[in-house]
Amino acid sequence: MKKKLQVLSISLALASATSILHAEGNINAGKQKSASCTGCHGDDGNSMVATFPKLAQQHSSYLVKQLQAFKDGTRNNPMMSAIAMTLSDEDMTDVSAYYATQKISENTLPVLESADEDEKPAADKPTDKKDTIQAIIAQGSDLYRNGDLKSEVSACIACHGPFGEGNKPASFPALKSQHADYLIKALTDFKSGSRSNNPENIMHMIAKKMTDAEIKAVSYRISMMK
């Protein structure tokens, strides 16, 4: 346990040191440079497609780090890698400074597919569906706040904050109001190890202990955080 804590504090120190190295970006220049991003991430960083992440209100240091990772190949996504290749360091800091100042949009309650339901929905009981989604979100809320002692899943709140606001000095991303589908994809990629550019592989260590049902529940919960 002591060793684990030491590792964590070292990575926290490293994370804040790198974020200090980033120069402040130019918000107006960033807005102009974001023209090539709007097709997928929306006009103000609020994408309409649920597997394209919202960038609005995200910490600029985190955005810069991800853009660099797409560019140097440590984070893989065919669409984003091609785009990041065309960006200079200055472009990255400008565009990230712009998105950090935008406001993230709220999501509507996720709609359950019938496969999510334990039982067949009863047509005469229209409230069942709502109860089920509420139950899943409550389960996700518990995992977010308390983690899971038995399966040793860390509480998300420790790093991503009580409101999903993240941790700016440490470059821990904000999660609140992100699309549930993107969150599920991100956690599944961390779990499988296909996304592995995070310090000490923290998110892989956490996600590999999560079941698919837990990933879905916590993602639904986070998508409803405002």
CA distance 201 to 84: 22
- Chosen residue from 93, 107, 198, 223 binding ligand HEC by CB under 6 A: 198
CA distance 64 to 168: 13
CA distance 113 to 129: 10
175 belongs to the binding site for ligand HEC (CB under 6 A): yes
| Cα–chain center distance at 27 | 22
- Other beta carbons within 10 angstroms of residue 145's beta carbon come to 13
CA distance 60 to 113: 35
Of the pair 133, 170, the CB lying nearest ligand HEC is at: 170
156 belongs to the binding site for ligand HEC (CB under 6 A): yes
Q: Maximum Cα–Cα distance for the chain, whole Å?
A: 60
Please say whether the beta carbons of 156 and 209 come within 8 A: no
**Interface stretch with ligand HEC, choices 19-27, 100-108, 119-127, 168-176 (CB under 6 A):** 168-176
154 belongs to the binding site for ligand HEC (CB under 6 A): yes
- Chosen residue from 25, 42, 110, 173 binding ligand HEC by CB under 6 A: 173
The pair of structure tokens assigned to 219 is: 């993602």
Residue 6 CB, shortest distance to ligand HEC, in Å, is: 13
Please say whether the beta carbons of 218 and 138 come within 8 A: no
180 belongs to the binding site for ligand HEC (CB under 6 A): no
| Cα–chain center distance at 153 | 17
- Chosen residue from 71, 160, 179, 191 binding ligand HEC by CB under 6 A: 160
Among positions 91-130, residues that touch ligand HEC (CB under 6 A) are 95
Instruction: Annotate each residue in 40-59 with x if it binds ligand HEC (CB under 6 A) or - if it does not, as one string.
Output: xx----------xx-x----
CA distance 178 to 184: 10
Please say whether the beta carbons of 85 and 52 come within 8 A: no
- Chosen residue from 56, 186, 224, 225 binding ligand HEC by CB under 6 A: 186
187 belongs to the binding site for ligand HEC (CB under 6 A): yes
CA distance 215 to 207: 8
**Interface stretch with ligand HEC, choices 19-27, 104-112, 127-135, 180-188 (CB under 6 A):** 180-188
Q: Which residues bind ligand HEC (CB under 6 A)?
A: 8, 36-37, 39-41, 52-53, 55, 63, 65-67, 77, 79-80, 83, 95, 143, 153-154, 156, 158-160, 172-173, 175, 183, 185-187, 197-199, 202-203, 206, 218
